[in-house]
Amino acid sequence: HSQRPLLNKTQDERVNRRLLMSSDDNSISMEMHDISGYQEAPLLSLEQACNKLHIENLSNYIAKAKNMSRRSRNGLTQDEQAAIHLYTQETPLYLLLNTALRQVHGCDLTSWYAYLKLFIIALQKLSPYRGTVWRGVPRDLSAKYEKSDVKTWWGFSSCTSSLDILTSSSFLGSTGVRTLFNIEIFNGREISEFSDHCSEKEILLLPGTCVRVVGQMKQSDGLQIVHLKQIEAPHFLLENHIRAKPIRQITEKYSQNRKTAYNDSPEEEYGYEQKYFAAQGTATAKPPPTFYAQLELANNISSDEEKAKLLQHLLCINNLSDKMLADIVECIITIYSDQEKYELLQLVLKRSSLSNKQLETTVELIHDIRSDNYKANSLKTLLSREQFIAQHFSIIIEATEEIYSDGDKSNFYKDLMNSRYLQLVDYCMLLYAIKNINNDASKRELLCKLAPKLPKTNPKISRAYIDAADSIYSSQDKATATLAFQ
């Protein structure tokens, strides 16, 4: 289909065309299919995984992707990061892959299996993104998206978390016929950190994503806005390898370093009371008679502000069982506003008595906050629970690594290293986390502050410290950090 012309050749080369929906995205097949065959493919390097793909200049695109993925991030290997980067480059690869995915029987996918395995494992290691994202197309598609319709998008679908990006002159612009999709999702993957278009806040929706049309609105300037909401798919194109992770499997999730995917059974058909009494292994405090009725009401409120007011009332209940608090947190996560989430989280953390299970549930909420500042401040509040920090140090480090700002991350690490209960293994994890900080000055400052606290005769500590110091690019900062450990 014809697309709105872009501003000039330079911009055309740098615009992420995937944010604009193609006509193929709306092709409808009534026949469900899966791509389970990729699971049997061997896990290979990116070069080997792409060996059966016949794309002109592919070796150059791979070399670029590998070059841009030399620094370890989010626990992904260089090949895993490069697999994501390769997908985001302006090459025929992503178009050909998505065309193959949309084939009814997946018959054209065999040559893609090795690359898909590497790509999917990389995405599997990233935390699910929950929130509102945007897609667009410079045409009127409102007739194809009538209220209550359910659509399945078979290919990988690129969205952005920034409305400003999509409505800029490089994409949809502010005039002419166009359709803007506002999508509430719970299982996207934020890939900007690994993308060739790192400034466009790209969220990737997985093949087989199902959405329901909530409604639509027509604007006077030719703009159609369609409101969509992701729902559980009746079948899952990628089977069970990238499912949304359930909120009550926190400890297991982080102990396996995000390498396990979970089957999260839909609970929409059951009432809240039924879910409560069916729960096992939680505290047995009985909820007040109206608790779940009010919680169900909160879940059905669309306004963040009004929903937060009702949840504040529920958080004033003295004896909240593990299950009750987990259900409140699950409702808080549906709030889009980080400020509202943060204020509710502070109410949770200020409770005089929180069980270990409730603290773990609270960390899950911290993960869901997008703002670096709110996330860092929430983690700082959690530091007062020193024994919990010591028992669940890896969970705290995992949450901190999601902070993009080196300043916010460094400030938290400074406070964290003052904990009285840190063990040898905790120091090793902390050193590894410091190694992943990008700013040399911040890294040097943290290492110099931590060095006097470390047992220098321990070989594991020594190795971890030297690795962290050696990752500093500045020769002067590297020397200063190294000498601090002598």
CATH code of the region 288-485: 1.25.40
Concatenating the DSSP letter of every residue in 68-82 gives TT-S-BTTB-HHHHH
User: Over the stretch 235-264, which tens digit does the pLDDT of each residue have?
Assistant: 545 644 444 443 333 334 334 433 333 333
Inter-axis angle of helices 440-450 and 406-416, to 10 degrees? 0
Grouping H, G, I as helix, E, B as strand and the rest as coil, residue 216 is: strand
Token digits of residue 159: 């969205």
Task: Find all residues with CB under 8 Å of 317, minimum gap 6, and list them.
Answer: 288, 291, 324
Distance CA 331, CA 286 (A): 19
Q: Tell me which residue has tokens 């406070």.
A: 415
What are the φ/ψ torsions at residue 203 (nearest 5 degrees)? -115, 125
Which residue in this structure is represented by tokens 């690869």? 93
H or E element at residue 217: strand 209-218
Q: How many CB atoms lie within 10 A of CB 268?
A: 6
How far is residue 230's CA from residue 234's CA, in Å, rounded to a whole number?
Answer: 12
Q: Is 192 left (phi over 0), alpha (psi -120 to 50) or beta?
A: alpha
Q: Which residue has the tokens 């709030």?
A: 335
- Interatomic CA distance for residues 367 and 129, integer angstroms: 10
Note the pLDDT of residue 205: 93
**Predicted confidence (pLDDT) per residue in 395-430, tens digit:** 888 888 888 788 888 999 999 988 888 888 899 999
Tell me what pLDDT residue 175 has: 76
Q: Which superfamily does 17-230 belong to? A: Toxin ADP-ribosyltransferase; Chain A, domain 1 (3.90.176.10)
Which residues of the chain form CATH 1.25.40?
Answer: 288-485
Residue with tokens 């500045």: 474
Residues of CATH 3.90.176.10 domain(s) within the chain? 17-230
Q: What is the secondary structure of 334-361 as a DSSP string?
A: T---HHHHHHHHHHHHT-S---HHHHHH
Buried b (16+ CB within 10 A) or exposed e, 358-382: bbbbbbbbbbbbbbbebbbbbbebb
Alpha-carbon separation of residue 463 from 225, 249, 423 (angstroms): 55, 33, 16
Distance CA 309, CA 228 (A): 25
- Three-state DSSP at 453 gives helix
> Is the CB of residue 314 less than 8 Å from the CB of residue 295?
yes
Give the Cα separation of 204 and 226 in Å (integer): 19
Look at residue 343 in the predicted model and tell me its pLDDT. 92
Q: What residue ranges of the chain have pLDDT lower than 50?
A: 1-14, 28-30, 32, 236, 239-284
CB 115 within 8 A of CB 83: yes
- Specify whether the CB–CB gap between 188 and 159 falls below 8 A: yes
In degrees, rounded to 5, the angle at the alpha carbon of residue 132 between the alpha carbons of residues 131 and 138 is 155
The reported pLDDT for the residue numbered 25 is 58
Could you give the 3-state DSSP secondary structure of residue 256?
Answer: coil
- Written as six digits, the tokens of 407 are 């300043």
Q: What pLDDT score was predicted for residue 173?
A: 74
Q: What's the CA gap between 439 and 437, in Å, rounded?
A: 6
Residue 261 confidence (pLDDT)? 32
What's the pTM?
Answer: 0.49
Q: Work out the widest C-alpha separation in the chain, in whole angstroms.
A: 72
Query: What letter represents residue 120's amino acid?
Result: I
